[in-house]
Amino acid sequence: MTTPHDGTLETHVITLTAPAGLDEPVALDLSVDGARPVTPELVAEVNDLCDRAEDALPGAYVLLRLSGAPQGPWTAAGQGIQLVNRWERALRRLERLPVATVALAEGDCGGAAFELLLATDHRLARHDLRLFPPAGGDGMWPGMALYRLVNQVGVAGSRRAVLLGAPVTAERALALHLVDAVTDGDPAEALPETAALLGGPAGIELAIRRRLMLDAATTPFEESLGRHLAACDRVLRRAAGEAVEA
């Protein structure tokens, strides 16, 4: 379900098919309850998912099923900065995987689930989705979720959530491009663009393009030029049949 120019919602049903030459897509899935605090166990679950994704065969993709929000203010009590650092590193690792990452989000979705959503490539939501940025008595948790949110939707789009802790509805998230599609049913039944993701660049080529995209918002042109030239040179050498670093 998408929002056309007149603001109404319309449904698109597209069948998920495997790219030519590949078997059925293999989903490496993980369900995360955003009501849970960030714990060493949750960090280990995300890192284990990354391990499997990095060793996966072509055609695999990561599927995160996200729901749940903290019952009360998000609190860092008991976490410690070392655990926060390990969690942020796990999110960064997820963000740099050599396979596509897809999020299915429904209901109230906050805390760790919200942070994981922001680190994925493609996001599907049920119409009842309400995104709750992790926040406590001091406002939004000042972790890298705030950084990702502002980079993805801009200051104006993130101001109400960051400063007021206001939830983001599914329609608002769609308008802000925080999610890519909204469905009335199970988000898992609406994976329309996953096939396109799988049919696009994969492995190191996917990782390179994702990193260039993520860095574009924060890196000056002069610093970006060398990285883009290196990526272009890589494509040209591959086209010429030369071996390139995997």
Q: What pTM did the predictor assign?
A: 0.79
Q: Can you give the pLDDT of all 246 residues of the chain as single tens digits?
A: 444 444 444 443 333 344 444 455 688 999 999 999 899 999 999 999 999 999 987 778 899 999 999 987 776 666 789 999 999 999 999 999 988 899 999 999 999 999 999 999 999 999 999 999 888 777 788 889 999 999 999 999 888 888 888 899 999 999 999 999 998 877 666 665 565 656 666 677 888 888 888 888 788 888 888 888 888 888 888 888 888 776
Report which of 128, 96, 133, 141 is spatially closest to residue 117, judged by C-alpha positions: 133
Distance of CA 119 to CAs 35, 115, 123, 150, Å? 18, 7, 10, 13
Write phi, then psi, for 133 (nearest 5 degrees): -60, 140
Exposure of 146 in the CB half-sphere (CA atoms within 13 A): 12
Write out the two tokens for 216: 């574009």
The pLDDT score that the predictor gives to residue 11 is 40
pLDDT number for residue 31: 96
